[in-house]
């Protein structure tokens, strides 16, 4: 038999491995061991009780997965391809996706409930209630001892000095959690209906954790209770990368409990500054308006005074002209010039020769007296 080279053997085996479809998209479960990083790549091993397998997460893939799960001693499920290295006569497992061990069943249940509720319309935007701009009271359904409630209280009190906080101590992890969450959501709504307190917005959630820790917020009954809430609900479960069924059915999803507290209340300190600024702007605007109106009134008064002065001057000239005309046409002034007036027996002035009867007596009015005269022959003269 003709011998073959090492390279030929390795390349043959590598070709077999690459062409085997059973080694593509292969899910493998095991315990993480020997984690190291180099140039953005992550190297480690997956092991069980009897064997060990070298693994790699390339830098181009690490942004697409939760690499925090790759931790020494942690059991995971990894999905990837067998990648042979012909020159070294070895192979490694090239990983594209990881999840915590046991999440397979959780994810299947998550998808089942999500599809069910989505088909029923519980995620539709038309059912989303708006958050109040200035809530008087914020209800919080979460653990009374965890970091989440402390973060929520800290954010609300640092932003707002008027909003009250009502905490509904809740079991948020484990078998008892779904019932506890549902009970407190109902209690918050019953308080409103009884008129004891008015809760304007409800934060439902908890801090981060594993998929098992957050499982209560994927419960179908919890989702239905959130949907039925008359009070607007902010879902605040885990970290930014965590999504739960409660996020989809709530009126608003917050990335974290801290973010929920931030969006639940207005910043009254900013509002106070805004009010002071608007008050100053309004005061300035009123002063400017008053000054403009004062100038306008001053102009109107000056114009009115000018018009009145002109009218008075015109009236004065008219009066003086009338006085002059009266003086010129005053009969006594005319008589002073040597003229006389002929009066009939009734004292009326006779200005027409035809009104004189020959032989009759008439009063002749002079400047300083009157005498009688008898009319002689008449002689008409052209006017």
Q: 237: which 2 tokens?
A: 């479960």
Beta strands in 118-258 (DSSP E): 137-142, 164-169, 201-206, 233-237, 252-254
Closest CA to 163 of 172, 173, 171, 153: 153
Q: 69 with 149, same domain?
A: no
pLDDT of residue 132: 93
Q: Please, what sign has the CA dihedral across residues 153, 154, 159, 162?
A: positive
> What's the pLDDT tens digit per position in 323-339?
877 776 666 666 667 67
Task: Look up the pTM and report it.
Answer: 0.53
Of 74, 101, 128, which one is at a domain's C-terminal end? 101
Rounded-to-integer distance, Cα 125 and Cα 130, Å = 11
Rounded-to-integer distance, Cα 125 and Cα 109, Å = 24
- Give the phi and the psi of residue 349 in degrees, each rounded to 5: -75, 135
Beta strands in the chain (DSSP E): 26-38, 41-47, 52-57, 75-85, 90-100, 137-142, 164-169, 201-206, 233-237, 252-254, 341-343, 361-366, 369-374
Please check whether residue 246 is in contact with residue 222, taking contact to mean a CB–CB distance below 8 angstroms. yes
Looking at the structure of the chain, the number of domains it has is 4
Spell out a b/e string for 55-90, using b for 16 or more CB atoms within 10 Å of the CB, else e. Answer: bebeeebbeebebebbeeeeebbbebbbbbebeeee
Q: 226 with 143, same domain?
A: yes
Q: 44 with 127, same domain?
A: no
- How confident is the model over 153-182, as a mean pLDDT? 93
> What's the pLDDT tens digit per position in 250-296?
999 999 999 999 999 988 877 777 777 888 888 888 888 888 888 88
Beta pairing class for 26-38 and 41-47:
antiparallel
In a domain, 383, yes or no: no
Q: Please, what sign has the CA dihedral across residues 32, 34, 36, 42?
A: negative
In a domain, 14, yes or no: yes
Of 217, 237, 266, which one is at a domain's C-terminal end? 266
CATH of residue 177's domain is 3.40.50.10550
In a domain, 1, yes or no: no
Rounded-to-integer distance, Cα 103 and Cα 109, Å = 10
DSSP per-residue letters across 15-36: HHHHH-GGGSSEEEEEEEEEEE
In a domain, 382, yes or no: no
**Angle of helix 103-120 relative to helix 220-228, nearest 10 degrees?**
30
Q: 92 with 111, same domain?
A: no
In a domain, 65, yes or no: yes
Please check whether residue 77 is in contact with residue 99, taking contact to mean a CB–CB distance below 8 angstroms. yes
- How confident is the model over 43-55, as a mean pLDDT? 93
Of 224, 246, 266, which one is at a domain's C-terminal end? 266
- Average pLDDT in the chain: 87
Q: 248 with 309, same domain?
A: no
Q: 339 with 298, same domain?
A: no
Q: 10 with 86, same domain?
A: yes
Residue 355 has pLDDT above 80, yes or no: no
Please check whether residue 356 is in contact with residue 378, taking contact to mean a CB–CB distance below 8 angstroms. yes
pLDDT level of residue 196 (50, 70, 90 thresholds): low
In a domain, 92, yes or no: yes
Q: 11 with 92, same domain?
A: yes
In a domain, 21, yes or no: yes
Residue 103 has pLDDT above 70, yes or no: no
CATH of residue 96's domain is 2.40.50.140
CA 131 to chain CA centroid, Å, is: 11
Q: 125 with 212, same domain?
A: yes
- How confident is the model over 340-360, as a mean pLDDT? 78
SS3 369: strand
Domain range for residue 309? 271-325
């Amino acid at each position: 038999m003709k011998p073959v080279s090492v390279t030929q053997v390795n390349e043959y085996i590598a070709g077999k491995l690459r062409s085997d479809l059973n080694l593509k998209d292969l899910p493998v479960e095991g315990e993480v061991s020997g984690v190291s990083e180099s140039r953005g790549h992550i190297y480690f091993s997956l092991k069980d009780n009897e064997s060990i397998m070298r693994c790699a997460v390339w830098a181009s893939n690490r942004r697409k997965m939760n690499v925090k799960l790759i931790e020494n001693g942690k059991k995971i499920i990894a999905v990837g391809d067998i990648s042979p290295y012909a020159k070294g006569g070895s192979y490694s497992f090239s990983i594209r996706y990881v999840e915590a061990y046991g999440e397979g069943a959780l994810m299947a249940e998550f998808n089942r409930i999500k599809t069910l509720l989505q088909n029923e319309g519980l995620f539709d935007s038309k059912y989303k209630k708006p958050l109040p701009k200035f809530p008087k009271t914020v209800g919080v359904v979460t653990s009374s001892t965890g970091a989440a409630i402390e973060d929520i209280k800290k954010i609300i009190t640092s932003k707002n000095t008027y909003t009250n906080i009502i905490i509904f101590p809740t079991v948020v992890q484990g078998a008892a959690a779904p019932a506890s969450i549902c009970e407190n959501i109902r209690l918050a709504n019953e308080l409103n209906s009884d008129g004891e307190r008015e809760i304007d917005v409800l934060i439902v959630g908890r801090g981060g954790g594993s998929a098992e820790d957050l499982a209560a917020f994927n419960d179908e009954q919890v989702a239905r209770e959130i949907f039925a809430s008359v009070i607007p609900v902010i879902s605040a479960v885990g970290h930014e990368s965590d999504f739960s069924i409660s996020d989809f059915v709530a009126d608003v999803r917050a990335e974290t409990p801290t973010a929920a507290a931030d969006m639940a209340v207005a910043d009254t300190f900013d509002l106070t500054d805004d009010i002071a600024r608007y008050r100053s702007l309004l005061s300035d605007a009123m002063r400017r308006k008053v000054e403009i109106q004062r100038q306008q009134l001053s102009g109107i008064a000056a114009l009115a005074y000018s018009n009145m002065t002109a009218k008075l001057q015109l009236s004065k000239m008219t009066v003086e002209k009338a006085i002059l005309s009266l003086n010129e046409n005053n009969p006594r002034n005319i008589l002073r010039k040597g003229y006389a007036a002929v009066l009939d027996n009734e004292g009326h002035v006779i200005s027409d020769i035809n009104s004189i009867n020959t032989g009759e007596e008439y009063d002749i009015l002079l400047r300083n007296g009157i005498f009688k005269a008898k009319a002689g022959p008449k002689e008409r003269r052209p006017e």
